[in-house]
Amino acid sequence: MPLESGSKWRLVLSALLISAVILELDAQEQGVTPGRTPKPSKPKLGKSTKKGPRAVTTKPKTKATPAAEAHNLLTQVLNRGKFKKVGESISVQTGDTLELRCRGKPVQWSVPPYLEEDDDGRLRIVQHERYGTLTLVNSTGADTGEYTCYPMYCEDTDCRKEYNKAVKVFVFFPDPQELFVPSSDYYEVIQLRTNWPTVLPCQVTSPEAKVTLHREYPPVEVAVDGMEISFNVKKGFTINRPRPHHAGALYCVASLGNLRQSSTKYMLIYVNYPMAPPAPVIQASSSSVVVGENLRVGCTVMGEQDVVVEFTWEYPGQQIGRPLYTQESISPVGGGAARQQSQSVLLVDEVRDVDQGTYTCTAQNLQGAKSVSTTIKVVPKTKPKKP
């Protein structure tokens, strides 16, 4: 009996142990530690509880402007191998050396007209493996102007300038003795064209100089309002919409400190420049003319007032030396805008067989030329019938 009771207790203990092991394994599978209350799971910040594409937030990149990118290609070489990015303009004292470096393989340079004509051996341009250099020694005020670097696009040995990638810098060379860029001309003739901006290139060597515009006769200072006439220290004065009253002799005056100087004189001649080439219309008195009768072929142009139109003719009689007779006239046309009619009439008296053919009128003004034609048929004279 005692043995049977001990066996029973051993069986009960074994069953309890096996149950405990099973419960522990189930708890581990469910992520629960036996004897502890499970905590509700919290999603971690920044991570989604559901699988899927992750949203990535990127900071907006600051994009450089085309002007800034362009000037990154061009630098000024200073003393001791230092480099300086250039802006729209820089100043270099006369006598000092200007050295510019432009990235590109290869590049080409353009310089102010004075240096293109004669640099006296002071200008040196070298192409290195990854960049080109421009070096100007013994600089003078006359070297003031625009310096441009053109990257080149090459296919084998054929290269061309990439004008849209050109980098420009305006270089002033302040000269204590010369406020204006020197010129060999005492005066310069400039044509004023209607509605075409006209530049008076009185270029100063220093951006600090104060510049005014003057008329020689009557001797007065010309008002510069920024609209009708404007000033740019890198270009000079611009007459934005020339009119007849702008014509005459003008000059610029620059002052800096105690120094005051006058520029070259500019002789401004006003020309009423047309907006477009002429549009002639040709018309004959008859498209069929009997031998012995007279022929009139007219060529007419409607255009702006005071615009000169020149007419030229081609006609069949030229082949035998028949002289040209024309009548030309100009007459105003009524209406709101100031317009005029210009006309040339070709006269052919006592038409002959040789006058048959094509008559061409060409009208030309300062903007261009245009031709129009018409064909004339010559009919034999009818003989009177006998009674």
Q: Is pLDDT of 42 > 50?
A: no
Residue 283, CB-side half-sphere exposure with 13 Å CA sphere: 5
Residues 42, 31: Cα–Cα separation, whole Å? 14
pLDDT in tens, 244-279: 899 999 999 999 999 999 999 999 998 888 888 999
Q: Is pLDDT of 383 > 60?
A: yes
Task: Return the domain boundaries, the chain.
Answer: 74-172, 187-271, 280-379
At 89, give phi and psi (nearest 5°): -150, 155
Q: Is the dihedral of CA 205, 208, 212, 216 positive or negative?
A: negative
Identical fold, 74-172 and 187-271? yes
Reference 150, options 98, 100, 87; nearest CA is 100
Cβ–Cβ < 8 Å for 342, 301: yes
Q: Is pLDDT of 19 > 70?
A: no
Mean pLDDT of 155-179: 87
In sequence order, which residues have a C-beta less than 8 Å from that of residue 195 and are 6 or more positions away?
241, 242, 273, 275
pLDDT of residue 31: 44
- Which residue type does 76 have? Q
pLDDT in tens, 287-303: 999 999 999 999 999 98
pLDDT of residue 41: 44
Residue 266 token pair: 């500019």
pLDDT grade for 13, boundaries at 50, 70 and 90: low
At 110, give phi and psi (nearest 5°): -125, 145
Q: What is the CATH number of domain 187-271?
A: 2.60.40.10
Mean pLDDT of 129-144: 90
Q: Containing H/E element for 29?
A: helix 2-29
Q: Regarding predicted confidence, which is higher, 162 or 30?
A: 162
Q: What is the CA radius of gyration of the chain?
A: 44
Q: Is pLDDT of 47 > 50?
A: no
pLDDT of residue 151: 86
pLDDT of residue 336: 58
Q: Is pLDDT of 1 > 70?
A: no
pLDDT of residue 286: 93
For the chain, report the end-to-end CA distance as a whole number of angstroms. 180
Task: Output the 3-class SS for 291-318.
Answer: CCCCEEEEEEEEEECCCCCEEEEECHHH
Length of the chain: 387
pLDDT grade for 157, boundaries at 50, 70 and 90: confident
Most confident among 119-123, 154-158, 365-369 (mean pLDDT):
365-369
Q: Which CATH code of 2.60.40.10, 1.20.140.10, 3.40.50.300, 3.90.1720.10 fits the domain covering 74-172?
A: 2.60.40.10
Residues 143, 312: Cα–Cα separation, whole Å? 47
**CA distances (Å), 306 to each of 70, 94, 299, 302, 358, in order?**
46, 49, 18, 12, 31
Q: From the CB of residue 276, how many other CB atoms can be counted at a distance below 10 Å?
A: 11
CATH superfamily, domain 280-379, is Immunoglobulins (2.60.40.10)
Three-state SS for 172? strand
